[in-house]
A and B are shown apart, each in its own frame.
Chain A
């Protein structure tokens, strides 16, 4: 999925580039990038978090 999103535009490709630290979440729970998907799943990619 990450590779497919990268194909949408140069901006997508830059944000999700392999050398960038990107975290993934599946249905609002942190997951590995190779987690299996089902129809209707909510997927998120985001940078390392900086809260607190």
Chain B
């Protein structure tokens, strides 16, 4: 497997297999750190019965590969992988997985958090939730921008 990779897919994924693959044949690895994001059944006080995820094909893969390269430049890591699902999802479903390997835990913990913070605000995905009062597009969160700014990255502001 390439040291940096991204998959955008409708299909579910197996975390165990991903963990194994990420560190396979690399005995330098002493730490694997990963993050899994899942669909919640509640959002902003409303029940969520389903969620649809759309993205901007082409840009999504490019943007995430750029994030992975940045993570490799910033942290002492060996391999990193992002999987993000698209299409129709249900509460409890896996949405996103970020996995990173390194020699010691510190670097992979940091790189993993950096990658999910970055992805939350810069990868072109959009969520639409089904609620009892109808479907609604999820609003971007200011707290996500703040999470990214901790890494010294400022979110581009409006030109107008």
A36 within 8 A of B: no
Report Cα–Cα, A49/B53, bound state, in Å.
11
Interface residue count for B (Cβ, 8 Å)? 31
Whether the pair B37, A32 counts as a contact (CB closer than 8 A) is no
Q: A51-B119, A52-B119 are in contact. Are A22 and B158 (CB under 8 A)?
A: yes
Cβ of B95: which chain A residues have Cβ within 8 Å of it?
52
Shortest B128–chain A CB gap in Å is 9
Within residues 32 to 47 of chain A, which ones have a CB less than 8 A from any CB in chain B?
32-34, 44, 46-47
User: Interface of chain B, helix or strand or loop or mixed?
Assistant: mixed
In the complex, residue of chain B having the shortest beta-carbon distance to the beta carbon of A28: B59
Whether the pair A32, B62 counts as a contact (CB closer than 8 A) is no
In the complex, residue of chain B having the shortest beta-carbon distance to the beta carbon of A35: B159
Interface residue count for A (Cβ, 8 Å)? 20
Whether the pair B156, A51 counts as a contact (CB closer than 8 A) is no
B160 within 8 A of A: yes
Cβ of B139: which chain A residues have Cβ within 8 Å of it?
48, 50
B residues in contact (CB < 8 Å) with A: 37, 53, 55-56, 58-59, 62-63, 66, 84, 95-96, 116, 119-127, 137-141, 156, 158-160
Q: What would 9 A/B residue contacts be, using CB atoms closer than 8 Å?
A: A2-B160, A23-B156, A25-B124, A28-B56, A50-B126, A50-B140, A51-B84, A51-B126, A52-B116
Q: What would 9 more interface pairs be, CB under 8 Å, given A30-B156, A48-B121, A49-B126?
A: A25-B124, A29-B59, A33-B158, A33-B159, A34-B159, A49-B120, A49-B121, A51-B84, A52-B84
